[in-house]
A and B are shown apart, each in its own frame.
Chain A
Amino acid sequence: MKEYTIRTQKIKKNTVKLRLIIFGSLAVILLLCSVFSEHLTPYDPYLQDLSCAKAPPSAAHWFGTDRYGRDMLSRVIAGSRASIYSTLLLVLIITVIGTCVGVFCGWYGRWIDTVLMRISDMFLAFPGLVFALAVAGVLGGGLQNAIIALTAISWPKYARIARSQTLAQKEMTYFKAARLSGSSTLKIIIRHLLPNIIGPILVTSMLDIGTMMMELAGLSFLGLGAKPPTAEWGSMMSDARSLLTTVPWVTLSPGIAIFISVMIFNLLGDTIRDYADPKSRR
């Protein structure tokens, strides 16, 4: 009986490591693509060539061309920069803001905790994307405003996690010991609290990369994110949606790019969660 459990755990751990390597390297490839997108595009993604407009996929244009004759492969690669960069930036912002608010609330408690948590409840009570639409609508379009809108609806989740983690940790004796060692509150929070609560927060942000990429693309699709002609996957899909039946490749290629990247980041997030789970590590 005992041996059986030990063996299953061993096998599970191995797959976790393997998955971590596979999805980790896929994500790295994706990131490298977006960093070096200028050097990877076979054609200028903004160069219009009406003579070969709406050309179907061929050896010269793997993903075909759009109605202005721009090479779709180049546009998808160029779009990876806007899509992936803004997603990562967004996730970074919400992680930092949410963690700061949550740690502050959990550590100090009292009325400030109540006030901030009620505010976060308010944000959580709205249906997320509808609220983001409203914010983006008020602020106007543009990728920057889409990021602000999504930040507004996404930080409460992180604040909740950071707060509950802080509450669970802060009564531990080692904080008292650190205080007796003459460390200031700020030092205790940075050196002792954060390293002990950051694990689950990082896992959540990894899992959120995929979601946020979709929501950003969604806002762009609705015309509230990146504006044409900027190559961005969501707005590229929206751009060509009226031609879906005649030139489907123009909509499909950024769609597939979103699908693949979201899947890679989701699987990576899942794997990191499994890896960080002490039960699968021990």
Chain B
Amino acid sequence: MNVIKMEPVLRVENLTGIYKGKNGRDPKTAFTAVDHVSFELMPGECLGIIGESGSGKSTLVNMIIRLLDAAEGSVILDGEDITTARGKELRKIYRKMQMVFQSPQESFDPRRTLSDGIGEGLRNSGMSGREAKEESIRLMKLCGLDPELAGCYPHEVSGGQCQRAAIARALAVKPKLLICDEATSALDVTIQKEIIELLDELRSREKEGFSILFICHDIALVQQFCDRVLVLYKGRIVEEGCPDDIINDPKDEYTKRLIAGVL
């Protein structure tokens, strides 16, 4: 692999996320969910982020994908600072960065068909309705879905099928970065494996090549799937490295406990 001199797809610097308390600006009730986190993600790489519930994983990725405002720090996607992007600019950025959510069924509009949801991004980037539909059917096939499911509503398909459709939707705009926030947590073990294998296969294909930011609290899955892993604890990165090294020889106290608890 020619890893030399590659620009990172995503660079996160000192990213800090603060939830304001109930009564707005009162600093006493503010809660720092993500505390000066920095990392880089290389093209084609799969980076895992693990940590217990409440450690700030979702807050972190929501700030990266601009569903939340960062209190401090910056997010640089493909050389472009997107920390404060909004409106039209942001919509352009969403063609480079996509996300797969935890609950597949909830991530599709209950009153719209799967192919409609998959094609939405394509139509928004100027494709005609018919072309978008054809392309969404191609994507469904790519993600191992029967094209007959195109006209189904989200409640008419299984969770695993719905998550495949969500991956198809995320890949429709050919993003450079795919964020999976616990994309497999709501599925049962065998389906989890299928989804992981699908992501792995799509990632290694030349044409669809993209980096993955994989949020998970299942260390075994991360070990199987990720090239590198960050351990998040109370909003800070406590350990970083190759998953095998971390699991076999954790340096940090918290990581030790986390691994002992899970394995």
Query: 9 closest pairs, A vs B, by CB?
Result: A181-B121, A182-B124, A181-B120, A182-B91, A173-B107, A173-B106, A177-B107, A174-B109, A195-B111
Offer 13 A-B interface pairs, CB within 8 angstroms, sorted by A: A173-B103, A173-B106, A176-B107, A177-B101, A177-B117, A181-B94, A181-B120, A181-B121, A182-B94, A182-B124, A195-B109, A195-B111, A196-B110
Residues of chain B in range 74-117 having any CB-CB distance to chain A below 8 Å: 91, 94-95, 98-99, 101-103, 106-112, 117
User: What chain A residues lie within 8 Å of B125 (beta carbons)?
Assistant: 182
CA A177 to CA B165, docked complex, whole Å:
12
Minimal beta-carbon separation of A191 from chain B (angstroms)? 8
Given contacts A173-B106, A184-B91, contact A178 B120 (CB under 8 A): yes
User: What chain B residues lie within 8 Å of A177 (beta carbons)?
Assistant: 99, 101, 107-108, 117, 166, 169
User: What chain A residues lie within 8 Å of B111 (beta carbons)?
Assistant: 195-196
Which single member of A182, A184, A187, A192 contacts B121 (CB below 8 Å)? A182
CA A176 to CA B67, docked complex, whole Å:
8
Residue B65 CB within 8 A of the other chain: yes
User: What chain A residues lie within 8 Å of B99 (beta carbons)?
Assistant: 176-177, 180
CA A173 to CA B169, docked complex, whole Å:
14
Q: Is the interface of A mostly helix, strand, loop or mixed?
A: helix
**B98 to A180, Cβ gap below 8 A?**
yes
CA A173 to CA B95, docked complex, whole Å:
19
Residues of chain B in range 42-97 having any CB-CB distance to chain A below 8 Å: 65, 67, 91, 94-95
Q: Which residues of B contact A (CB under 8 A)?
A: 65, 67, 91, 94-95, 98-99, 101-103, 106-112, 117, 120-121, 124-125, 166, 169-170, 173
User: What chain A residues lie within 8 Å of B109 (beta carbons)?
Assistant: 174, 178, 192, 195-196
Residue A130 CB within 8 A of the other chain: no
Q: Beyond A177-B117, A182-B91, A182-B120, list 14 extra A-B contacts (CB 8 Å).
A: A174-B109, A174-B110, A174-B117, A176-B99, A176-B107, A177-B101, A178-B109, A178-B120, A179-B67, A180-B98, A182-B173, A183-B124, A192-B109, A196-B111
Residue A172 CB within 8 A of the other chain: yes
**B101 to A176, Cβ gap below 8 A?**
yes
**B94 to A172, Cβ gap below 8 A?**
no
**B110 to A180, Cβ gap below 8 A?**
no
CA A182 to CA B112, docked complex, whole Å:
17
Residue of B nearest to A171 (CB): B106
Residues of chain A in range 153-185 having any CB-CB distance to chain B below 8 Å: 172-174, 176-184
CA A181 to CA B65, docked complex, whole Å:
12
CA A195 to CA B113, docked complex, whole Å:
13
User: What chain B residues lie within 8 Å of A183 (beta carbons)?
Assistant: 120, 124
CA A173 to CA B100, docked complex, whole Å:
10
Minimal beta-carbon separation of A170 from chain B (angstroms)? 13
**B101 to A173, Cβ gap below 8 A?**
yes
Interface string of A181-217 (1 = CB under 8 A from B): 1111001000010011000000000000000000000
Residue of A nearest to B179 (CB): A180
User: What chain A residues lie within 8 Å of B110 (beta carbons)?
Assistant: 174, 196
Among A172, A173, A176, A192, chain B packs the most CB atoms within 10 A around the CB of: A173
User: What chain B residues lie within 8 Å of A182 (beta carbons)?
Assistant: 91, 94-95, 120-121, 124-125, 173
Among A174, A177, A180, A187, chain B packs the most CB atoms within 10 A around the CB of: A180
CA A110 to CA B73, docked complex, whole Å:
26
User: What chain A residues lie within 8 Å of B107 (beta carbons)?
Assistant: 173-174, 176-177
CA A208 to CA B125, docked complex, whole Å:
42
Residue of A nearest to B104 (CB): A173
Minimal beta-carbon separation of B38 from chain A (angstroms)? 24
**A174 to B95, Cβ gap below 8 A?**
no
Minimal beta-carbon separation of A174 from chain B (angstroms)? 5
